[in-house]
């Protein structure tokens, strides 16, 4: 078998990547990074103007890209896009399930429509992408699926519980599939960004939260550029890492919190208190901490 051939198919022709959520931020930067590596990119996003802008930027830099309007919550649209790309190129190299939204608020303020919205975009959007791309990649015997989770998936996220739910689920799905798919020559990785400088925070829905206060809190964080994240993410994929989490000091923090779990609990309580300061309706009365029970005997 030649170097460019797989078990079931040949890797001939130009490489092709689909990137959802590529009209902005991390998706756009990933699309640019891939195009810079001589990969054709389908920029897929619900935002037409932003998507066309990404295509224009890639074209100006000498890369090849096309735009496809896509709502990742619609399984049929995702399936049709993936099939069209495969028909046109005869192969599918990368599927980046990256589109996502963010939502902040106390859980007791969230309604079922809030839950449905964030689950549909963040989690079902990723599932739709996998359902469409994985059978093709399995059949051809190669390909890489990259799902954007979040550093949030590494632990608790008080006042962003629904967002955290979706990102934990993506991480579980991706790391499980990583091992199932490798028998078929298919690679699967989770991207876990943290504080990347994109419009996601400005566009996020703050449920009974003062967005200006949230943004002020966010702006205190040192942020990574989307281009830097994309460069590190693609490097991680080249190494076939199941989880790519290029977060400064992450390993140090993992070790520190494993050794001192009480410090992690204190930090999470602080995060919860500080996030609540951005609440825009009546102040939250916190319940008194539960005291350890003493046996009377």
Binding site for ligand NAD (CB under 6 A): 20-21, 23-27, 45-47, 50, 70-73, 98-102, 121, 148, 150, 193-196, 198-200, 203
Residue 94 designated active-site: no
Beta strands in the chain (DSSP E): 16-20, 40-45, 65-69, 94-97, 103-104, 144-148, 187-191, 205-206, 243-244
Give the residue with the Cβ less far from ligand NAD, 98 or 140: 98
Q: Closest approach of Cβ 282 to ligand NAD, in Å? A: 29
Residue 129's H or E segment, with its range, is: helix 125-140
**CB distance 137 to 82 below 8 Å:** no
What's the CA angle centered on 198, arms 77 and 39, to 5 degrees?
55
Give the residue with the Cβ less far from ligand NAD, 170 or 278: 170
Task: Measure CA of the first residue to CA of the last residue in the chain; give whole Å.
Answer: 75
Q: Closest approach of Cβ 153 to ligand NAD, in Å? A: 9
- Percent helix / strand / coil, the chain, rounded to 5: 50, 15, 35
Q: Which of 232, 237, 143, 138 is nearest to 194 (CA)?
A: 232
Out of 94, 108, 163, 179, which one is annotated catalytic?
Answer: 163
Per the structure block, which two tokens stand in for 83? 């099939």
Give the residue with the Cβ less far from ligand NAD, 219 or 296: 219
Q: Closest approach of Cβ 24 to ligand NAD, in Å? A: 3
Q: Closest approach of Cβ 109 to ligand NAD, in Å? A: 20
Give the residue with the Cβ less far from ligand NAD, 144 or 167: 167
Q: Closest approach of Cβ 287 to ligand NAD, in Å? A: 30
Give the residue with the Cβ less far from ligand NAD, 63 or 246: 246
Q: Which CA distances in Å does 44 have to 6, 129, 176, 292?
A: 27, 11, 26, 53
- The set of catalytic residues is 163
């Amino acid at each position: 078998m030649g170097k460019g051939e797989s078990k079931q198919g040949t890797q001939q022709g130009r490489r092709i990547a689909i990137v959802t959520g590529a009209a902005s931020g991390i998706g756009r930067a990933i699309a640019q990074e891939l195009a810079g590596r001589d990969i054709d990119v389908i920029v897929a996003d619900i935002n037409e103007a932003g998507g066309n802008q990404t295509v224009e930027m890639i074209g100006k830099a000498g890369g090849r890209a096309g735009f496809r309007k896509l709502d990742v919550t619609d399984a049929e649209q995702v399936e049709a896009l993936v099939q069209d790309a495969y028909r046109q190129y005869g192969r599918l190299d990368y599927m980046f399930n990256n589109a996502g939204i963010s939502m902040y608020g106390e859980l007791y303020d969230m309604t079922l429509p809030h839950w449905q919205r964030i689950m549909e975009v963040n989690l079902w959007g990723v599932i739709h992408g996998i359902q469409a791309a994985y059978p093709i990649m399995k059949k051809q015997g190669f390909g890489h699926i990259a799902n954007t989770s979040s550093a949030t998936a590494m632990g608790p996220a008080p006042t962003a519980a629904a967002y955290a739910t979706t990102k934990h689920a993506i991480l579980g799905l991706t790391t499980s599939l990583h091992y199932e798919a490798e028998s078929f020559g298919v690679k699967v990785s989770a991207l876990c960004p943290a504080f990347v400088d994109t419009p996601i925070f400005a566009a996020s829905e703050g449920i009974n939260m003062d967005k200006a206060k949230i943004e002020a809190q966010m702006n205190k964080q040192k942020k990574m550029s989307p281009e830097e994240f994309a460069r590190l993410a693609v490097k991680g994929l080249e190494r076939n890492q199941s989880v790519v989490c290029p977060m400064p000091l992450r390993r140090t923090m993992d070790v520190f919190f494993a050794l001192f779990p009480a410090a992690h609990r204190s930090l999470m309580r602080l995060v919860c208190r500080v996030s609540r300061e951005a609440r825009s309706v009546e102040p939250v009365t916190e319940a008194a901490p539960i005291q350890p029970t003493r046996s009377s005997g």
